[in-house]
Structure formats: C-alpha cells, structure tokens
Amino acid sequence: MQQDHRIGFLYEKYDHVTNLGDMNDVYDIRYESLPISTITNGEYEAAFLTE
C-alpha cells in the first residue's frame, strides 16, 4: 500500500527476443501502481478514515 492509497507492484516481465537469428532471454523489471478498484474489477474500492 502506497501513501496515495494505491497498491504498488514490482515484478519481472520475461520477453523472449530473437535478434538476427540469435535467441536472447530478456527480463525487464517493471513497476505499476493501481487502485484497488482496478485490481478487483470494480468489486471493491478503498475507504480510508481521516481525522
């Protein structure tokens, strides 16, 4: 959970790339920040109490 009430995901994405007949394994580190409503397809949304 981030300070902006979104959920952060850090993940590794695999891409198999062919370059001039040579096969290389490519792994990219990705970061994505999503609200809970997107993750749950609208079933839930974040509710936070403030003082």
For 1-51, write each residue's pLDDT tens digit. 888 889 999 999 887 665 655 556 678 899 999 998 899 998 988 776 455
Per the confidence metrics, is the pTM higher than 0.85?
Answer: no
Indicate the residue type of 17: V
Domain with 5 in it: 1-51
| 8 Å CB contact between 5 and 46 | yes
| pLDDT at residue number 22 | 56
Q: What is the pLDDT of residue 28?
A: 85
3-state SS string for the chain: CCCCCCEEEEEEEEEEEEECCEEEEEEEEEEEEECHHHHCCCCCCCCCCCC
* Number of structural domains found in the chain: 1
Q: 10 has which bridge partners?
A: 31
